[in-house]
């Protein structure tokens, strides 16, 4: 789940005998998440959500654009 302002990401998974949860502040600073969001902007996953919701490509582009001024992108894999 992404907060409405895009500044907090909460995620969880289940294991055989446990539940794991995490909270990430400022997810827009993660190069991995930004790279993944860039991949969503091509529209290839737009039909996977609720048809009444904003397409994933549009939501991802809004999130990336909203936080663009905070991050200097480094090409994925470059170090």
pLDDT value, residue 4:
84
Rounded to whole angstroms, the Cα distance separating 51 from 38 reads 21
* Phi, psi (rounded to 5 degrees) for 45: -115, 10
Instruction: Give the Cβ contact number of residue 69 at 10 Å.
Output: 8
pLDDT value, residue 25:
92
Q: Are 11 and 18 in contact (CB under 8 A)?
A: no
Segments of the chain with pLDDT less than 70 = 69-79
Both tokens of 4, joined, read 């409405």
Rounded to whole angstroms, the Cα distance separating 40 from 28 reads 15
Neighbouring-strand partners of residue 23: 10
pLDDT value, residue 28:
86
pLDDT value, residue 39:
92
pLDDT value, residue 72:
58
């Amino acid at each position: 789940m992404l907060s409405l302002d895009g500044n907090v990401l909460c995620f969880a998974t289940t294991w055989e005998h446990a539940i794991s949860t995490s909270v990430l502040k400022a997810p827009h600073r993660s190069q991995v998440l930004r790279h993944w969001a860039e991949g969503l902007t091509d529209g290839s996953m737009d039909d996977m959500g609720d048809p009444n919701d904003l397409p994933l490509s549009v939501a991802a582009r809004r999130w990336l654009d909203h936080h663009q001024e905070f991050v200097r992108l480094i090409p994925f894999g470059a170090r």
